[in-house]
Amino acid sequence: MIASGSGNSEMGMQWAAITGVIATVSVFAIAQGLSYPLLSFILQRQGVSPAMIGLSAAMTPVGFIVSSPLIPALARRFGAGRTALTCAALSAIVLALISWTQNVYLWFPLRFLIGVVTNPLYVLSEIWVIALAPPARRGRVMGVYSTIISAGFAAGPLCLLAVGTEGWPPFLVGIFAFVLCGICLASVLPRLPKVDEAGHQVSVLGFVPLAWLLLFAVIVAAGFEQGALALLPVYGTHHGIPETRMSALLSVMIAGNIAMQVPLGLLAERLSSRLVRLACVAITVLGCLLLPILIETPLIWPMIFVWGAVSYGIYTMSIIELRERFTGSALVAGNAAFSLMWGVGGIAVPPMAGTAMDIVGARGLPITLGLLCLALAIASLAGRRKASIVG
């Protein structure tokens, strides 16, 4: 009876820690989701060109890319908890500096810094969640995690409806969110597991050959999401679809992402994360084929909902498989590599798809995204065949 009570107590502490980390990340996501449109609105009022606004926004993912290889060393040197708390404080300070300067040129280095200091917070929080999740329930836990992240990013812009986009109020919301993020994290820090182990250390670049297919899946998921969000409105314009309808379609796509990650996670528990990821890739390719056919019909609404769900499901399944295959320093390096590849995909794919649209017209978008996902499907099937032969 004592052992059973002790086990229940430990399980309760584990779930409390998971809840605390997910709360931390949700607050962080709200702050990030608020900052992107807020800064774009401010620059637009200042008369800054769209090209310059786009370059300014790109500084944050560049910061992700630059900081990702440093995260394992920071976690080892200073401890994961101390690193994450410091990053939460620095994020609040940098956002305050952005509000104080209000200058497009000063915002370039500051937005780069916001990417540098928020990335470790995100990566380390994700490591804690996947390390804490019980193996039998890992799919649903990561599904909840992905859902809350997406909901947080979606809620960020909604905050602007309440506080507006002028002066200090919207920035104070973001600053307070980062401070609250640090408070949530500090409250559960003693219950969090160590995210690194003694012995052989794996670097981010050293991790690449260990799981190149998973990293390619992350590039595809990031590139698809960023390419679709950036260029679907342009695609709709080519088909004569009003902006309001395309905005609604994008909202439905995000809703699919938010609503379906938990069901996909439950499916991964019954089958396997690798099999569910392959199914997500296949359905995403099918969506690319159906987009030109359904874009002007009522069937586009359910199709875009499913498209949003399965395209982000590629990432959710990849992070589940990462935890199934790696622990210790390899897990830390793997999460940092995921963040790096997310930045690469987000930066590389939208210009690629935009160039294709310039060359072949609107169909360049589904062609580019479809070929990218098809390459991942072929690589995944080849990987499964190789694994079965070796087995």
Specify the pLDDT at position 278.
94
- Listed range (58-72, 140-154, 205-219) with the worst mean pLDDT: 140-154
Which of the two residues, 219 and 11, has the higher pLDDT score? 219
The Cα–Cα gap between 111 and 57 comes to 7
Instruction: Enter the DSSP assignment of 168.
Output: S
pLDDT, average across residues 256-277: 91
Q: Which two tokens stand for residue 339?
A: 């963040």
The Cα–Cα gap between 173 and 290 comes to 41
Residue 233, pLDDT above cutoff 70: yes
Specify the pLDDT at position 11.
63
Residues above pLDDT 90, as percent of the chain: 29
pLDDT in tens, 130-188: 888 888 888 888 888 888 888 887 777 778 778 888 888 889 988 988 898 888 888 88
- Cβ-Cβ contacts under 8 Å for 151 (sequence gap 6 or more): 26, 29, 258
pLDDT, average across residues 351-375: 91
pLDDT in tens, 267-313: 998 988 999 999 999 999 999 999 999 998 999 999 999 999 999 99
pLDDT, average across residues 313-331: 88
CB count in 10 Å sphere of residue 355 = 12
CB count in 10 Å sphere of residue 134 = 12
Total-model pTM: 0.81
CB 301 within 8 A of CB 252: yes
CA–CA distance from 293 to each of 89, 279, 289, 347 (Å)?
49, 22, 8, 28
Residue 3, pLDDT above cutoff 60: no
The Cα–Cα gap between 299 and 301 comes to 5
The Cα–Cα gap between 20 and 170 comes to 25
Specify the pLDDT at position 4.
43
CB count in 10 Å sphere of residue 193 = 11
Residue 2, pLDDT above cutoff 80: no
The Cα–Cα gap between 230 and 228 comes to 5
Residue 6, pLDDT above cutoff 70: no
Specify the pLDDT at position 109.
94
Which of the two residues, 33 and 235, has the higher pLDDT score? 235
The Cα–Cα gap between 95 and 88 comes to 11
Burial of 210-222, coded b for 16+ CB within 10 Å and e otherwise, reads ebebbbbbbbbbb
CB 72 within 8 A of CB 88: no
* Closest of 69, 68, 335, 369 to residue 220, by C-alpha: 369
CB count in 10 Å sphere of residue 382 = 11
pLDDT, average across residues 97-122: 90
The Cα–Cα gap between 339 and 341 comes to 5
Residues above pLDDT 70, as percent of the chain: 92
Residue 16, pLDDT above cutoff 90: no
- Cβ-Cβ contacts under 8 Å for 167 (sequence gap 6 or more): none
Specify the pLDDT at position 389.
47
pLDDT in tens, 71-104: 888 888 888 889 989 999 999 999 999 999 988 8
pLDDT, average across residues 11-29: 77
Residue 249, pLDDT above cutoff 90: no
Residue 374, pLDDT above cutoff 90: yes
One-letter amino acid for residue 256 of the chain: G
* Closest of 230, 273, 198, 177 to residue 368, by C-alpha: 230
The Cα–Cα gap between 154 and 294 comes to 26
Residue 189, pLDDT above cutoff 80: yes
| Helix runs in the chain, H state only | 2-45, 50-67, 71-78, 80-101, 104-132, 138-163, 169-188, 204-207, 212-238, 243-270, 273-294, 300-325, 328-360, 364-390
Number of residues that make up the chain: 391
